[in-house]
Structure 1
Amino acid sequence: MLITRHKDRVYTYIYLIVKNKDLTEDIFQDVFIKVIQSLRAGKYRDNGKFLAWVFRIAHNLIIDHYRQEKMNKVYSNDDFELDLFNSEKFSDDNCEDIMIRSQVHYEVKELVDRLPSDQKEVIVLRHYKGLSFKEIADDTDVSINTALGRMRYALINLRKMIEEKQLSLLIS
C-alpha cells in the first residue's frame, strides 16, 4: 500500500535527476525491488519516514549508476548523430595522407629557411621548440615586444611567399 501511495513521487524524483525516461524506469524498478527486499528482511523500522527512506534508496541507486557508468566509460553510437566509430579521427593514415603531410612539412620548412635569420629564429623557437615569447625574449636577449614583432613580420613574410608560390598547405 505504501509503494502504491508513493510511486508517482518517487518516479518524479528520479526523473528530475536523471532526465532520461528509460533510465528513470530502470532505477525506479531497482528502488522498489530494494525496498521490498529490505521490508521482507525487516530492515525498515516504521518511524513515519517511509518516503524519506525510499528517496534515500533512490538517491543512492542514482549515485551508484553514475559511478558505474563513469568507471565503464562506455560509448554508444545510438547517442550520436554521426557514426562515432567510423570516423577519420580513429582511422590510420593512408599512404596518400602521409605523402601530403610530408610534402606540406617540407614546403613549410623551405619557406621558413628563406626568412631573415631573426624571424626564422623566432618561428623555430616558438613553433618547433614550444617556447613562450618571454622565453624567446630571454634566449635571444631582446624585449618581448621585439620577439612579438619578429613573429608578426615572419608570418607576414610567410603569407607573401605562400601567395607568390600559390601553395596550398592544407592537410586533410
Structure 2
Amino acid sequence: MTDLKILSDEELVKKFISGDTRCIDLLIDRHHQRIYSFIFLMVRHRDLAEDIFQDVFVKVIHSLRSGKYAENGRFTSWVMRIAHNLVIDYFRKQKNQQMISNDQYSYDLFNHTRFSDHTIEDKMVYEQLLSEVASLVEMLPDSQKEVIKLRHYFGLSFKEIAEETNVSINTALGRMRYALINIRKMMEERKMSLTI
C-alpha cells in the first residue's frame, strides 16, 4: 500500500476524485497553516478565519467532485484564489449590511460626492482604464506578469509568491519592481494617465 504522504498534491487530487477520501484530509493538513494564515491576515479575527477556512475546503471538495478543477500542478494557487474570493465575498456582505443613520447629524451625511452614484461615463472610463492596464500587464515578460498577477489579482505576499514560483523573495521583489518600471515606460510611450 502506498504511503499517501509522499504523493504530490496533484496525485492526491486524482486519488480523491477517484474516491479515496483520505486524500482530502492530507491536502487539508498539508496546506492548513498557509491558507489559514492567509485568511487570518485579511480578516484579523480567529473565529472568522476558521469559518472561512472551512468554507474554502467545502468549496474545494465540491469543485473537485463536480470536475471543476483543471489547474495541473497549481493546486495551492487554486485554493488560495478560492480563499481570496471567499474573503472578498465576506467583506462585500458586511459592507452591504452596515447601516448609517442620518438622524443624529445637523447636516445631511449622504449629500456628499463619495455617496453619489457614478455616472455611466465614469464607469466606462474606469472599465477602459482597467482594460488598458490589463493589456499592459499582458505585454510584460512572463516572469514579471506572473508576479503582478499573484500579488495584485490573487493577493499573495512576496514570501508566498517566492514559494509559488520557486525563487527567492528578493527575486520576486525585483521582478515586481521591473514590472512596474516597464508598465510606467509603456504608459509614457502611449501617453496614458491613470486618473479618472
Give the equivalent residue in structure 2 for 1:56: none
Q: Is 1:146 the equivalent of 2:146?
A: no
In 1: Cα distance, 2:100 partner to 2:127 partner: 36
Find 2:120's aligned residue among 63, 70, 95.
95
- In the TM superposition, 1:38-49 aligns within 5 A as none
Matched-pair identity in %? 61
Aligned-pair CA distance for 1:73: 6.7
Distance 1:92 1:117 in 2: 38
- Measure, in 2, the Cα distance between the counterparts of 1:73 and 1:119: 43
Normalising by structure 2, we get a TM-score of 0.46
- Corresponding residue for 1:105? 130
Residue 143 (structure 2) aligned to one of 93, 118, 129 = 118
Instruction: Encode CA deviations 1:42-83: one digit per residue, 9 max, x unaligned.
Output: xxxxxxxxxxxxxxxxxxxxxxxxxxxxxx9745443x7xx5
Q: Establish whether residue 137 from structure 1 lines up as the match of residue 142 from structure 2.
A: no
* Mapping 1:1-172, distance limit 5 Å: 74-75=101-102, 76-78=104-106, 84-171=109-196
Alpha carbons 1:122, 1:136 under 8 Å: kept: yes
Query: Structure 1 length normalisation: TM-score?
Result: 0.52
Listed as ranges, the gaps of 5+ residues in structure 1 are: 1-71
Q: Distance in 2 between matches of 1:73 and 1:123?
A: 37
Q: Answer whether contact 1:77 1:85 (CA < 8 A) is retained.
A: no
In structure 2, the residue matched to 1:39 is none
Distance 1:101 1:121 in 2: 24
Shift of residue 88, structure 1, vs aligned partner: 2.2
Q: Which amino acid aligns with 2:167?
A: V
Structure 1 residue 154 displacement after superposition: 0.3
1:92 shift after superposition: 1.8
Deviates more, 1:118-127 or 1:90-99: 90-99
* Structure 1 ranges of 4+ moved more than 4 A: 72-77
Q: CA deviation at 1:167?
A: 0.4
Cα distance in 2 between the residues matched to 1:93 and 1:121: 32
Q: Which consecutive residues of structure 2, in runs of 5 or more, have no partner in the other structure?
A: 1-98
Q: Which amino acid aligns with 2:165?
A: T
